[in-house]
Amino acid sequence: MSSELNEWCEWRVMMKLWLFPAERMDTDFPWMLWAIGWLAMLKALLWLAYEPVMPEETLRLLGFKYLLVAIPLIVCGVGLWNRRRWAAWGLLLLAAADLIFLLFVPQSFSAYLVDSEVQIFSVILSGIMLICGGPAGDVLILLAAAVLFRETQKKAVLPR
């Protein structure tokens, strides 16, 4: 009976996630977890504010892709702020899948390039889209893999 209770308590603690844990604002909180968590949030939500000019079939395919990954990106971003190892794995898998998608649908790369009459706006906004919503952000997440695994926990620690 005691082991069942311990397993139940452990499960309950593992599933307890705070949307904005207070710990992430501490000065000793790893800045890379903080930044990658926000990057995941931006990747999940930025597409809602921007509709690229491209063929309807490609636009529809991108829309389905973003619908499929929006919730997992938000959940993994919050999990990362809560220092959960599964969130690091999830973000790495989502970033790799996004890059693989780009290999199979190369015409979708133009969705990250913003066209404006003012060239400096085009450069700045395209850079933001490439980093916050596109392949550059995916590469940054993959490059941060070692830090993500070092700074996250396999299981939540039970309170005493």
Please say whether the beta carbons of 84 and 17 come within 8 A: yes
Spatial separation of the C-alpha atoms in residues 43 and 99, rounded to whole Å: 13
* Domain ranges (residues) in the chain: 2-18+31-151
The tens-digit pLDDT sequence of the chain (160 residues) is 555 544 444 444 445 666 666 676 667 888 888 899 999 999 998 888 777 778 888 888 888 988 999 999 999 999 998 889 999 999 999 999 999 999 998 888 888 878 878 889 889 988 888 888 889 999 999 999 999 999 888 655 544 4
Spatial separation of the C-alpha atoms in residues 79 and 66, rounded to whole Å: 19
